[in-house]
Structure 1
Amino acid sequence: MADLRHDFVQTLNQPLDDLDAGALHAVFADQLAKGEAALARENVTVTKVAHHFSLDMQFLGQSHVVRVPLEDATPSVETVRERFNAVYWQRFKVDLPEIRARIVNANCSVIGVCPPVDLGLLIDDAGRRATAEATGRRSVRFDGAAVDTPVFWRDHLPADVTLDGPAIIEQLDCTTLIPPGDRVVGGVDGNLTILIGEAQ
């Protein structure tokens, strides 16, 4: 259900003034080729392939780095300098023109964007009931007081369910607690929305 993603990091550890832009472009090209090859091996249908390029940079003598996003895989040295200064200013509000910048890492992310999944299909409509029917009851403490609370199995709830708390909704991978005074409503995408303080 999630997009496919491959991240690559190549340590360069060199002053920006000494950067060979062509060598940086070659690093990005190699990372990109490896990422696209990895996507092809996974044999999963994707709607498009996205690429993100960035550099981890710092000023010489500093230990922390900042991530500098790039528009493409072929930036000039001056473009890198401008982008680094802009990111550094945005984060620290400090301009340090007298200190040399250093490139620590070159990063490339190759993302295979998968088709959207209708989350409503995760629950089989054949198992849904016409009305919300509790499968049991449980004593739950709210604000120090024990409250007899109905328990519902999520797969059995109507798609357009409306339940006022207190209620417990159980499913295969989690349990959701609806406190007194709150309301839960179902949606066409299969999600449940909890409305705080909106119980009738």
Structure 2
Amino acid sequence: IGGKLNRLDVDRAKLAIETHIGTPLGLSVMAAAEAIIRVANSKMAGAIRLVSIERGHDPKNFSAMPFGGGGALHTGALMKEVGLQSALVPRYPGINSALGCTIADMRHDFVQTINGMLGSLDIDDLDRRMVQLAQQGLAMLKTAGVTFGGTALQFELDMSYQGQTHTVDVPVPLELRGDTTKVSEAAVRAAFETRYLAVYGRLLDNIPIRVLNLRVSTLGKRPKFDLTLLAPAAGVDLAQARRGTRQVWFDGAFHETGVYERLPLSVGEIVPGPALLEQPDATVFIEPDLTGCVDQFGNLVISRK
């Protein structure tokens, strides 16, 4: 992590791997270490397949976005194992989640159980619940100590036909006007039929509709942050960012690998693999058959050569 982990005891790490993994499996310490990484990569690749291939999506149409201090060390392996088109490494991977918390809209979600048939639902009671939750959320935004550019409300119902196990989330287009949302049975029914038709392609005639849950979300909209401000104002070229070389083990052997300081690299700078890019919060590894390019936001886009 930017050369700041000098206290890491490499010899003890090797001894632990050799004792607990290498010797029992008849592997050298480096082969055992590589096997550990391959198992980790396989687990992550399986998780990606679960939300892509198994849902009918072609991974070639998607890019990975690794974050965290070590996420970008696995990028190349995941691209090749899953068949991803490319990867986008954020400017500051190690604090990417924290950055998102500071620039994303603030949101409070509320849910209450209704569990009643739409035809006999107390609409006035539903309206009171919507107003109460909306006002509660707006009050929380006011006391958050954050400057918002505006606020918004979202009203949603979990609904189904009677006898069905699964529900559909039904957005209901309503506004808070004083102490009412003006919700009506007709508006709820129309919203359900629109949503159900979009999900399943047809409606079920003569079957009562059930309302399971009420969901209300309040959103405090932060002013949009210009991410180009994160890019280096006046960067350096690859030669200037080079720190030297390091022996890096991959594909069963040590390879001489260029080491670079990532953050000063200019927008548009190309980094051919193999390469290690270091920064205070993360380390990025670009494999030999991949290349990286710094985009206008300071992100590193990794793709095949």
- Which of residues 68, 82, 94 is equivalent to 2:190? 82
* Equivalent residue letter for 2:225: V
More strand by share: 1
- Which of residues 43, 50, 57 is equivalent to 2:145? 43
| Residues in 2 aligned to 1:51 and 1:170: alpha-carbon distance in whole angstroms | 43
Equivalent position of 2:113 in the other structure:
11
| Residues in 1 aligned to 2:183 and 2:244: alpha-carbon distance in whole angstroms | 61
Shift of 1:152: 2.4
Cα contact 1:150–1:167 (8 A) shared by 2: yes
Shift of 1:173: 3.7
1:56 paired with 2:161, answer: no
Shift in CA distance, 81/171, structure 1 to aligned 2, threshold 3 Å: same
Shift in CA distance, 20/133, structure 1 to aligned 2, threshold 3 Å: same
Equivalent position of 2:5 in the other structure:
none
| Residues in 1 aligned to 2:119 and 2:159: alpha-carbon distance in whole angstroms | 13
Root mean square deviation of aligned Cα: 2.4
1:1-200 superposed matches below 5 A: 1-72=103-174, 73-122=181-230, 129=236, 131-134=240-243, 136-142=245-251, 144=252, 146-197=254-305
Shift in CA distance, 94/160, structure 1 to aligned 2, threshold 3 Å: closer
Q: Secondary structure at the match of 2:197?
A: helix
Cα contact 1:119–1:189 (8 A) shared by 2: yes
| TM-score of the superposed pair, with normalisation by structure 1 | 0.84
| Residues in 2 aligned to 1:135 and 1:77: alpha-carbon distance in whole angstroms | 70
String of CA shifts for 1:54-112, please: whole Å, max 9, x gaps. Answer: 10111222221110011114332112112212222222234212211111111111111
String of CA shifts for 1:95-149, please: whole Å, max 9, x gaps. Answer: 21221111111111111111222335557869x656221354231314x554322
Q: Secondary structure at the match of 1:38?
A: helix
Cα contact 1:52–1:108 (8 A) shared by 2: yes
Shift in CA distance, 187/140, structure 1 to aligned 2, threshold 3 Å: same
* Equivalent residue letter for 1:107: R
String of CA shifts for 1:26-52, please: whole Å, max 9, x gaps. Answer: 211111111111111111011111211
Q: Percent identity?
A: 35
Q: Note the residue ranges of structure 2 that are not aligned, 5 or more in a row.
A: 1-102, 175-180
Could you list the runs of 4 or more consecutive aligned residues of structure 1 that deviate by over 4 angstroms after TM superposition? 120-126
Cα contact 1:160–1:188 (8 A) shared by 2: yes
| TM-score of the superposed pair, with normalisation by structure 2 | 0.57
Cα contact 1:132–1:161 (8 A) shared by 2: no
Cα contact 1:138–1:148 (8 A) shared by 2: yes
Equivalent position of 2:24 in the other structure:
none
Q: How many residues align?
A: 195
Cα contact 2:141–2:220 (8 A) shared by 1: yes
Q: Note the residue ranges of structure 1 that are not aligned, 5 or more in a row.
A: none
Shift in CA distance, 67/135, structure 1 to aligned 2, threshold 3 Å: farther
* Equivalent residue letter for 2:248: S
| Residues in 2 aligned to 1:81 and 1:190: alpha-carbon distance in whole angstroms | 48
Cα contact 2:231–2:267 (8 A) shared by 1: no
More helix by share: 2
Shift in CA distance, 76/193, structure 1 to aligned 2, threshold 3 Å: same
